[in-house]
Amino acid sequence: MMKRCLIRATGRARPDQLAGLGRVLAKTGARLLDINQSVTFGMLSLEALVALEHDSALEAMLSEAGDNLGLDIQAIAVSADDYHRWSLEASQPRLILTLLAPRLPAGILAEVGGLTAEFGLHVELVHRLSGREPLDGEAPGKGACVECWLRGDDVNLAALHEKALALGAQHGVDIALQEDSIWRRHRRLVCFDMDSTLIKTEVIDELARRHGVGDEVAAVTEQAMRGELDFKQSFRARMSKLEGLDEAVLADIADELPLMDGVERLMANLKRLGYRTVIISGGFTYFARHLQEKLGFDEIHANELVIENGKVTGEVQEPIVDAERKAELLEAIALREGVTLDQVIAVGDGANDLKMLAKAGLGIAYRAKPLVRAQARQAISTLGLDAVLYLIGYRHSDLLD
């Protein structure tokens, strides 16, 4: 009868160790069932699960191999029950939990470990995606990022998301959760909101300020936030306040648009990696086109200002790009490009982005208000926009600076 055995080897890493252990297992006639090896800080950790008929000489051979290879090697018998339990755990869905912040103190790991244990999740792997600066240092250049692979059965994802969001807010750390899938590193289309996502301002507010109607536009915005106006009503009411604005003001604002932190690095890497990038904005094509020329977006969809005789009329061409239109555009572009919605990433900050974020396989609320963060599946608030690359699974070493 075949017996199962876990071979565990640890020690300072050398190039010849895998070959040496492989020769020992081959001599015993062991069947290799599973294997995992990692080297961290120069120390090797290798586990091999094997099945063999006769294990009488195994321990002696492993001891000799350990002496020759500079390894501490153990052979641990594995019962049928343990093997069955491990097999079941390996078949459970994997969750990816990502920690992002300017710095990650050790205490947050204890808190996250407690949270995952509360939901019955096993931590399968912990590794860093950010650069080699200390995680708990003085705000490393691109921030700190650690990724945890979790396994568990019948996890209440909504409850886990809610608690992770609260824990992250308490410590100033973004805690993002997503289900692992084959699409994670094979997404092809990224759709962005513009105002307060790609740029650090709301253009309509800046236009109103330059036109001397900032308070009037703010009052309409407040009505919308109280639920007295829907998006289209609010948008038309604010636009009407801009009647007579000189077109030259638009050019001045476009030249001075403050880019969001990390957007240039994000776009350089998305283009290099072959993603199609799109702006889907409730703002204006005049400014989206400026960003397209500056950053290289493949296409833009926004509201078209009506300008006559060099003056803004206060009207926009139909259809108005509202929440429903954003989601429709995302789906239509994915269909046209021949990609599934699972292969789409959407990034936005406002309530009118939520339908677009929900439609995409990976929907990210960026520096959004609490209500939007709570409803979106993932959120980033502590780092630049290039932290989106960490949620896709890229390491700092994979990326251009």
Active-site residue set? 193, 195
Of the candidates 366, 375, 367, 322, which has an alpha carbon nearest to the alpha carbon of residue 190? Answer: 366
Q: List, as one string, the DSSP characters of 302-321.
A: EE-EEEETTEEEEEEPSSP-
- Sequence-distant (6+) residues with CB within 8 A of 246 are 310, 311, 312
Of the candidates 108, 116, 227, 86, which has an alpha carbon nearest to the alpha carbon of residue 168? Answer: 108
Alpha-carbon radius of gyration of the chain: 27
Residue type, 33: L
Across the chain, which distance is largest between two alpha carbons, in Å? 94
Classify strands 299-303 and 94-101 as parallel, antiparallel or unpaired: unpaired
Alpha helices in 213-300, H assignment, sequence order: 214-225, 231-240, 247-255, 263-272, 285-295
Q: How far apart are CA 174 and CA 176, in angstroms?
A: 6
- Sequence-distant (6+) residues with CB within 8 A of 15 are none
User: For residue 312, with 0-12 CB atoms within 10 Å meaning exposed, 13-18 middle and 19 or more buried, which class applies?
Assistant: buried
State both tokens at 287: 């400014």
